[in-house]
Structure 1
Amino acid sequence: MSALNWQKSSYSSESANCIYLAAAHDGSIKIRESDDPDTIITTTPDKLKAFLCGVRAGEFDHLIK
């Protein structure tokens, strides 16, 4: 597998708790956290877009209050 070009979220600071994303050559999106970089979630661009739209709409706010 080719090396992935991981991009850190602009909302992440220089400390821990950073989220990284990478576009894989097969068209999938890879997601990992800085504190556990060996655990990688794989999703599709459409599913990631749906999730991000839900986050922006506040659909998950009840989980963090």
Structure 2
Amino acid sequence: MAETAEEIKARKERERDELYALDISGVEWHGAPGTEEHEERVEIAYLPGGAVAMRSSLDPDTVLRYTEAEWRAFVLGARDGEFDLEPSGPDAK
């Protein structure tokens, strides 16, 4: 039996609440290979159940958390070029 839209919404809210309730104070943060500790970079930490936390090295107290499904969708989208930036501004070609 398929979930209704309301059931899906309620399940996703529960998953998000559980994810943000996790104590991540002891997680190991990973930056892109070749970056230095003092450089601006995006860092990720792997959480239980395939979830991922992400933060900026310039603002380590602001942490976004993604379920396994959300993270998988993001990574696949990035690989497919969905987030490629279009040139903009006066020098755009």
TM superposition score category, shorter chain reference: 0.7 to 0.9
TM-score, scaled to structure 2: 0.56
Q: Which one has a bigger Cα radius of gyration?
A: 2
In the alignment, what sits opposite 1:55?
78
Q: How does 1:1-65 map to 2 (within 5 A)?
A: 1=23, 3-10=26-33, 13-14=35-36, 15-25=38-48, 27=49, 28-61=51-84, 63-65=85-87
Gaps of 5+ in 1: none
Root-mean-square deviation over aligned CA pairs: 1.9
Normalized per residue, which structure has more strand? 1
- Mapped partners of 1:51, 1:21: distance in 2: 13
Ranges in structure 2 where 5+ consecutive residues have no aligned partner: 1-22, 88-93
Runs of 4+ in 1 over 4 A off after TM superposition: none
